[in-house]
Structure 1
């Protein structure tokens, strides 16, 4: 649906975060006479009224009947379409869309393709991969937009002048279906990996995977760049798209630390600034996508050396009194915590895990701790901390590692520092769980971690390269 098609319809916004504000701004600019209603929590209502004046009717009570009074509801990504109120209104004909859908519909050319656009999704590594893609595209001399879930809503860059030559767009599982519903087709779409995530939003692991894959199964990109090593992707058939596989011997893949293009060794990644082997492996996806755009990926590969890692993603924020502090606050799944541990194999580690409990299965994490070299200490915290602690207790009793329980991050930090016993090591915040209920988001959690470690939080939070450059 294009923005012009909203004219004459009963339209509401649902959510007043940055995405909701971006949608409001665009509608005010394009359709200034369109009446708008905003549904948001009472905690946001006063700010919304103050910022918009009489241009918006603000309501804090969200019910299915209230939503059903509108033809179209533009919802923020964090609001699930599978909730009772949305399902009730949808059954009565209300259409739910997001800013992602509007942006793609506006950008599509006459053939339906959003040309020179590369979309990136995956359970882990998508932000770093998208930023790395933008970095290498810019290294080619191309003006490039780095936008999306990485921190810049798409509707904030709806029609920039001059327009970039390329768009690098990060999409969460909340947004991938929006691309399919827009009717537009990205030129290139990358899917890195799939692990259980956001089950409270999607309702089940099967639906999470289905929704995530909508970027390639529903949106039908011209080219899909897929991870041949991921079991959910390896058998995928996409009759409407050309598939380029990475992480397989005929395409871009890693052999040890060296990136190869087929049999051709291209670049040794062992001294790159990319955090973690999984991110170095995702460089293969980036190079495959760049090549799909018609650029010389082999020549651009060494420019990864100039890449600045993103905050909150295996971010080394500094060393004090022999302890190195690593902020991986964006880690919201047990698999992400395992990937973080792999990066520091051979070091003394105090690992901080736990946060909002959305029912993810931690048994794979526990099995890893039973059979692989564990960290020196594990500190559990947050709402799901007791559940993780109980699963790990038998291994701790057997002497595999030290295990400690904390109520919150400040206590967890104290326990981690004490557990390392003045002998140095790494305090690794890789919680494997969201920050909901305690922090506004993972960024706020990472900032608090930096403060507790004695570092300036403002110095660690800027995302390099975001926007158009």
Structure 2
């Protein structure tokens, strides 16, 4: 759907976060007089009303009856379409779309493709992968936009002053369906991996997987770059190949870009040793293979661009070394919101003495795999915290005597850090990789990471900025 197609329809906005504000401004740019209703909180309503837009009215109660009176509701990504009121209104004919769908609608060519777009999704690693893609393309002299879920809504760059040659777009599972809804095909889509996440938004693990895969099954990119070592993605890849209209390229496969131990190969050709690259964790170095496969899919020389990974700046809150104090190194992995992410973080520091902080908002994700891994690969200490802290603690407690790690429970992040420091005794790594969202205690994972840095004695402002956002 293009923004112009909203003309003459009853339209509402649902949510007034950054994505909601971006949708409002994009619509107003094209349709300055279109009547709009904004569903938001009382505080947000005051902010919206201060703009003096006579064609904008605010309401606080987005109930099913009221939502069903609109033809189109442009909702923010954090609002689940599976909420009962949304489901009921959709049943009455209301169409729910997001800003991502509107952006893609504005970027379709005559063949229904958003040319030069590379969309990246996956349960973990997608932000670093998207940023690395933009970094390598720019290193090759290509003007590239870095946007999407990584921190810059696509609608904020709807009409850029400089037209990018390529778009590197991160998509969360909240947004992949929007691309399918737009009816516009990405040129390239990268799918890294799939683990259980966001069950509260999606309603079930099965629906999470289904929604995540809509970037492939619904949006049907011209080229799909898939992880050959993920069972779900190999199955989907086989389906896409059988259907015939998507060109499937594999990474992590011996015939393409892959790692052999720490060495990067293109087929049988050695390219470089990845150990010195500023990509924390082997999984991130593996995702370099995804980036290089996508660059080849764009028709560029990936082998020539690969060495530029050495100048990549790691992103904040993603296995980010904040600094060292009194023999203890503090690592901020606040974006970790699944137990699998916490396990991957621990693997990065398997040669170090580690005290890991786990727990946060409880979305019902299973921690049994994490607990089982602790039987043989436990760190020095595990400190549980947050809403699901007691549940994680109960799973781990029977393993303490056998595995020989310190297990402690904390009341909050400050208490957790104090207990972690004490367990390390002045040597090692305090690793914040909570495996759970920050809701309740913090506004978001960024605020949690900033507090972690502050408690460790470092300036939170210096660790928060995402390098490379926008067009360059």
TM-score of the superposed pair, with normalisation by structure 2: 0.98
In structure 2, the partner of 1:120 is 120
In structure 2, the partner of 1:297 is 302
Instruction: For residues 336-360 of structure 1, give each alpha carbon's deviation from its aligned partner in whole angstroms, at most 9, with x where no partner exists.
Output: 0000000001211010000000000
- Aligned to 2:395, which of 382, 391, 394? 391
1:382 aligned onto 2:386? yes
In structure 1, the partner of 2:11 is 11
- Aligned to 1:278, which of 279, 283, 292? 283
1:197 aligned onto 2:202? no
Residue 61 of structure 1 and its aligned partner are, at CA, apart by 1.1
1:447 aligned onto 2:431? no
Q: Which has the larger displacement, 190-199 or 40-49?
A: 40-49
Q: Which has the larger displacement, 240-249 or 128-137?
A: 240-249
In structure 1, the partner of 2:166 is 166
User: Counterparts of 1:319 and 1:457 in 2: how far apart (Å)?
Assistant: 14
Instruction: For residues 53-85 of structure 1, give each alpha carbon's deviation from its aligned partner in whole angstroms, at most 9, with x where no partner exists.
Output: 534211111200010111000000000000001
In structure 1, the partner of 2:75 is 75
Q: Per the alignment, do residues 223 and 347 of structure 1 end up closer, same or farther by CA in structure 2, a change over 3 Å counting?
A: same
User: Counterparts of 2:368 and 2:41 in 1: how far apart (Å)?
Assistant: 36
In structure 1, the partner of 2:108 is 108
In structure 1, the partner of 2:439 is 436
Structural RMSD (CA):
0.9
Q: Which 4+ stretches in 1 moved above 3 angstroms? A: 51-55
Residue 418 of structure 1 and its aligned partner are, at CA, apart by 1.2
1:245 aligned onto 2:223? no
1:215 aligned onto 2:215? yes
Structure 2 unaligned residues grouped into runs of 5+: none
User: Counterparts of 1:126 and 1:461 in 2: how far apart (Å)?
Assistant: 18
User: Counterparts of 1:138 and 1:466 in 2: how far apart (Å)?
Assistant: 12
User: Counterparts of 1:280 and 1:52 in 2: how far apart (Å)?
Assistant: 49
User: Counterparts of 1:370 and 1:459 in 2: how far apart (Å)?
Assistant: 37
In structure 1, the partner of 2:365 is 360
Residue 29 of structure 1 and its aligned partner are, at CA, apart by 1.3
User: Counterparts of 1:168 and 1:223 in 2: how far apart (Å)?
Assistant: 14
In structure 2, the partner of 1:458 is 461
User: Counterparts of 1:37 and 1:46 in 2: how far apart (Å)?
Assistant: 14
Instruction: For residues 219-265 of structure 1, give each alpha carbon's deviation from its aligned partner in whole angstroms, at most 9, with x where no partner exists.
Output: 11110000010011112221220000111111111001111111111
Instruction: For residues 350-392 of structure 1, give each alpha carbon's deviation from its aligned partner in whole angstroms, at most 9, with x where no partner exists.
Output: 1000000000000000011113x21100000000000000000
Residue 41 of structure 1 and its aligned partner are, at CA, apart by 2.4
Secondary structure of the equivalent of 1:54? coil
In structure 2, the partner of 1:31 is 31
Instruction: For residues 140-187 of structure 1, give each alpha carbon's deviation from its aligned partner in whole angstroms, at most 9, with x where no partner exists.
Output: 100000000000000000121320000000000000010011010010
2:338/2:365 contact within 8 Å kept: yes
1:350 aligned onto 2:350? no
In structure 1, the partner of 2:420 is 416
1:314 aligned onto 2:322? no
User: Counterparts of 1:16 and 1:217 in 2: how far apart (Å)?
Assistant: 30
In structure 2, the partner of 1:426 is 429
Secondary structure of the equivalent of 1:464? coil
In structure 2, the partner of 1:95 is 95
- Aligned to 1:255, which of 253, 257, 260? 260
Q: Per the alignment, do residues 415 and 55 of structure 1 end up closer, same or farther by CA in structure 2, a change over 3 Å counting?
A: farther
User: Counterparts of 2:403 and 2:95 in 1: how far apart (Å)?
Assistant: 56
- Aligned to 1:267, which of 262, 266, 272? 272
